[in-house]
Amino acid sequence: MTTLAIVGFGKIARDQHLPALSASDRFDLIAVASRHSSLDGVDNYPDIDTLLTEQPALEAVSLCTPPQGRYQQALAAIEAGRHVMLEKPPGITLSEVEDLARRAQRAGVTLFTSWHARAAAGVEPARDWLAERHIRKVDIEWREDVRHWHPGQQWIWEPGGLGVFDPGINALSIVTHMLPQPFFLSEATLEVPENCQSPIAARLNFTDALQTPIHADFDWRQTGPQTWRITVVTDDGTLVLDDGGSRLTIGDDLKLDGEDVEYAGLYRRFAELIERGESEVDITPFRHVADAFMLARRQRVEAFIE
């Protein structure tokens, strides 16, 4: 068992990391570092520096804080010889994540940029099916209600918080893994509330070397039923990956309506990487977001009031 601590005991740590770790036979959760929260039954610290100093037996940390400030936490852990798993997105710039990768390699520790949506049950079967088909068109719809999913979270609207790309990057993490060809952005529009630094909606047109049209529509203003769907039209029928990647339909056949296996899969992967002495640092989804911030037209829209 690898001893592990969670840093930033907030929404995702409670909702997903804690249950996944409780069920894991590869990790022993021994501590939490969080300024305002604590967990019964483990050692609690106010910050990562105190954690690293006072827990010499600690082998790994899982960083569940918002992306702003994550670099310093990861750096401290790497320099203290601990393995590091990063929540998505892995940071606030591409360069800082690349720097962490170099430093982890030098320090001989594992760095894992996790992409939870990629671990959804339908993603691998969809990837296998698409590998042998000619793709004509891809349509990504990722529309949800920000007030429901991110109550009180101011960091999402600040620089580095990514706005609607915070969920949208989950879709990008799936398609960058699932589609056989690399693709790239050709045109984008971001809708930015007049009191925010980051977008509440994004429309993105990507293409690839075969000129495949790949359209993405991310919107944080959808109330009622929520949509996390990717539709891929091929010369052999249409594949639909729904519910964030857990439900897979090909043509009229429902192939899979899977359970939520994402975080169990992430911790299995982290354990494998530690065992093999390897890192996994994939910034491809994050690069597409950076490209959107570089290329997009901005439209100012009405202020966001929670």
Under the criterion CB under 6 A, does residue 153 sit at the interface with ligand NAP?
yes
Tokens coding 139:
């349509």
Q: What is the DSSP string of 63-106?
A: E-S-STTHHHHHHHHHHTT-EEEEPSS--SSHHHHHHHHHHHHH
Tokens coding 172:
């990008």
Is 137 among the catalytic positions? no
For residue 106, give Cα distances in angstroms to 79, 103, 278. 10, 5, 12
Q: Closest separation between CB of residue 8 and ligand NAP, Å?
A: 3
Under the criterion CB under 6 A, does residue 36 sit at the interface with ligand NAP?
yes
For residue 68, give Cα distances in angstroms to 47, 91, 92, 117. 15, 7, 6, 21
What residues between 2 and 21 interact with ligand NAP by CB under 6 A? Answer: 8-13
Virtual torsion, Cα 127, 23, 285, 173, nearest 10 deg = 30
Under the criterion CB under 6 A, does residue 66 sit at the interface with ligand NAP?
yes
- Smaller CB distance to ligand NAP: residue 37 or 238? 37
Buried b (16+ CB within 10 A) or exposed e, 189-219: ebbbbeebebbbbbbbebbbeeebebbbbbb
- Smaller CB distance to ligand NAP: residue 91 or 122? 91
Q: Closest separation between CB of residue 11 and ligand NAP, Å?
A: 4
Under the criterion CB under 6 A, does residue 239 sit at the interface with ligand NAP?
no
End-to-end CA distance of the chain: 43
- Smaller CB distance to ligand NAP: residue 59 or 87? 87
Parallel/antiparallel/unpaired status of strands 227-234 and 237-242: antiparallel
- Of 62, 85, 72, 75, give the one whose Cα is nearest residue 107: 75
Q: In whole angstroms, what is the distance from residue 254 CA to residue 231 CA? A: 14
**Interface region with ligand NAP, contact rule CB under 6 A, candidates 28-36, 102-110, 227-235, 293-301:** 28-36
Per-residue contact track with ligand NAP, 161 to 190, x per CB under 6 A? -----x------------------------
Out of 21, 113, 115, 116, the only residue in the binding site for ligand NAP (CB under 6 A) is 116
Place of tokens 């296996």: 261
Out of 2, 3, 30, 37, the only residue in the binding site for ligand NAP (CB under 6 A) is 37
Q: In whole angstroms, what is the distance from residue 95 CA to residue 188 CA? A: 23
Under the criterion CB under 6 A, does residue 122 sit at the interface with ligand NAP?
no
Under the criterion CB under 6 A, does residue 67 sit at the interface with ligand NAP?
yes
**Interface region with ligand NAP, contact rule CB under 6 A, candidates 65-73, 97-105, 131-139, 194-202:** 65-73
- Smaller CB distance to ligand NAP: residue 92 or 204? 92
Q: Which residues are catalytic?
A: 88
Footprint of ligand NAP (CB under 6 A): 8-13, 34-37, 64-67, 69, 87-88, 116, 149, 153, 155, 166
